[in-house]
Amino acid sequence: MNSSGHVRVRTTNQAVWLALALVIVGILGGLLGYTFEGVAAVIAAGLALGVCLPTGVAALVLSARLNQPELALYQILINQVLRAGVPLGICFLVHSRGGTLAEAGFVFYVVALYLTTLVVDAFFLTNRMNAANCE
């Protein structure tokens, strides 16, 4: 298999693992929130997952596509805008508007999912760097 196909498979596997980690944290957060806020917390956790999952996977896929030294600045910029900017912008809108979603802890769920994305991406990055050093 050529290196492009190998990278594609690795990126797909990483996207699946990232999605799985986010779904697990989202479900656990929703269950925990249900004990405090009821159904509104489950909805807030589900919506936070709906925000963080596509942005996290998109950032992962795009950074894999831009994996060239001359595109490093663009890779960082796209990662930060997708992974942090979009969810935090939506958090700002929800929090400033107030209402049931804000009271149910939407911002806290987004932060928990964002941190999960950071941990998983850092794990993938260190593995990628170790693999590059071994070659």
pTM, two decimal places: 0.84
Task: Give the pLDDT mean for 53-62.
Answer: 91
Query: What CA dihedral angle connects 127, 59, 76 and 22, to 10 degrees?
Result: -60
Encode pLDDT of 63-99 as tens digits: 888 877 787 888 888 888 988 899 999 999 999 999 9
Structural domain count of the chain: 1
Residue 79: give the domain boundaries.
Answer: 3-134
- At residue 91, the pLDDT reads 93
- At residue 7, the pLDDT reads 63
Per-residue pLDDT band at 132 (split at 50, 70, 90): low
What average pLDDT does the structure give for the chain? 87
